Amino acid sequence: MRKRWLTARLMGLALMLFIPLGAYAEGAGVFDVDRWYKILDDVRTRAINQNISKGTIDATLKYPSFIPSIVKSDRNQAEFKLTLDEYLARTVNSRRIENGHKMRATYPTMLARVENKYGVQPHVILAFWGLESNYGEYRAAHKLTDAFLTLMYEGRRETFFGNQLFALMKIADDNDLDINDIRGSWAGTMGHFQFIPTTLRQYGADGNGDGKIDIIHSVGDAMFSAGNYLHKMGWNPNEKIVRRVMLPASFDISLLDGKTKKTLSEWAAIGVMNPDGTQIPVTDMTAGLVGDIKLIQEQRAAAIAAAALNASADPNAIDTDVVPQPVIYAYLTYPNFYRIKKWNSSNWYAIAIATLADELK
């Protein structure tokens, strides 16, 4: 046994020698082989202590690979720069809507079972499926064990990714899966709905009745797991997610962060209305308000600059109260919106889910 373990370590070391120094992270210097093997040894010890099977432990550590591109992706995540309209144009496009309707026709029974069991409507499940993996078209790039080991080595979130690795090992044990066949994104998400292992461990559900939970190869398991997760978050099928609204030109845009909550009656009283100018429903239901604050600020500045140019005046001398302001559109955000944000914390993502779901009703 010791001989086989030593041979595996030497083979791994030989592979490491072919990693371009500095390729895994700019300015990181020479790859620290000792640190790498310390992590592997620690994983084995901790996995044994957590009663993970020897077969899964050996499979995880047999030929571990460090993947430089994963560290590069982790350290260079692009700053979010799209406007809300640009984001919606990219995520809720005609092809995704068309494919969503096709998937509804392909899986009517499974979608109905999810709705009956968890109270999450088919168009909502389809919206998450469409945004997360383009209805399963997304092909995972990495063996997840390697992704987690690489990110543990990177070090900034070693505890978090270690927890994901051990959860993945337990998932493999519980469901009799070959851990080396489980692939996912560089960040450690997997399957049709891109769950991380700890989320799958908590909310995974068997949708096809085979006694296993495999959200990569089973659409039924994936849908049931998504439905269970949203149900546990408190999903209410009788509520809207968002309502697109129009605001007075002088509206205080600091209120558009989604954190300020008012009743619909209170929002109506300060000028929130439907896009056609009619009154929004006036009730005691509480909602937030989300809009593209940065874009609105830019549009207001452009309106002032244009007014100054037309008047050949200093923009700072223009009376902004008399400059025509652009129409403001935003979204009232109901409780289901905030349940979506437990899945993904982006306001834009939650609005995209709501928009796509409406298209797939």
pLDDT digits (tens, 9 = 90+) for 26-38: 445 578 899 999 9
In the predicted structure, residue 81 carries a pLDDT above the cut 80: no
What pLDDT is attached to residue 70? 87
In the predicted structure, residue 11 carries a pLDDT above the cut 50: no
Residue (of 280, 284, 252, 242) closest to 124 by Cα position: 242
Region at 256 (left for phi over 0; alpha for psi -120 to 50; beta for the rest):
alpha
Domains in the chain, CATH or no CATH each: 2-76+139-232 (1.10.8.350), 242-333 (no CATH)
CB 335 within 8 A of CB 101: no
Q: How large is the C-alpha radius of gyration of the chain?
A: 25
The SS3 call for residue 246 is strand
What are the structure tokens assigned to 267, written together? 């929002």
Residues of the chain above pLDDT 70, percent: 83
What pLDDT is attached to residue 20? 40
